[in-house]
Amino acid sequence: MRSLFIPLVILGLPLAEIAGFVIVGREIGLGMTLLLVLLSAIAGVVLLRVQGFAVIRRVQEATHTGSDPGREVLGGALMFVAALLLIVPGFISDLFGLLLFLPPVRLAVAGYLRSKMTVVTAASGQAWRGPSQRPEERARPQVIDLGEGEFSRTDDDEANPPEERRWQ
């Protein structure tokens, strides 16, 4: 089932966009259809610029306060996707882009994505495993234990290595 979904979307979305152009073009005319496509692309570029700077500012504020900027980064990524959908010509992609700009829809999509992934921040040593759990300290130390055959070392700084290391 999953193996058929992606090719159908890749083939079906352009066909649906073309059908949307034909339907809208019949109703409002060619000039107005092209104007709508141009205006949606301009709106996408403007929103990308304005929202992009706002997201960068929120991420910087979160890092300065010491909190995890993961929510801001995910929200920014969704805003970026929404702006790209507006820039891409087509009315169906514009509809999805406009829906992603609505905060309730964006929060729902972000909540779904957060429930499907585990985020580990190396700087804070915390792991976040979904919306129902709070960040928790890692139980394991950050030490990798290797066996004898899994590790080798070569020192380039050493001018004359010991005899037994020369032949390894």
Count of domains in the chain?
Answer: 1
Cα atoms found within 13 Å of the Cα of residue 44, Cβ hemisphere only: 27
Span 121-157, pLDDT tens digits: 555 545 555 555 455 544 555 667 677 777 666 666 5
Q: Are 126 and 137 in contact (CB under 8 A)?
A: yes
Of residues 68 and 123, more confidence is placed in: 68
38-52 pLDDT, tens digit per residue, is 999 999 999 888 888
Answer yes or no: is 54 within a domain.
yes
Entry pTM? 0.64
Asked if the structure places residue 2 within a domain, the reply is no
Would you say residue 5 lies in a domain? no
**Is residue 106 domain-resident?**
yes
Q: Which of 55, 70, 72 is nearest to 118 (CA)?
A: 70
pLDDT of residue 138: 47
- Let me know if residue 144 belongs to a domain: no
For residue 39, the enclosing domain spans: 14-137
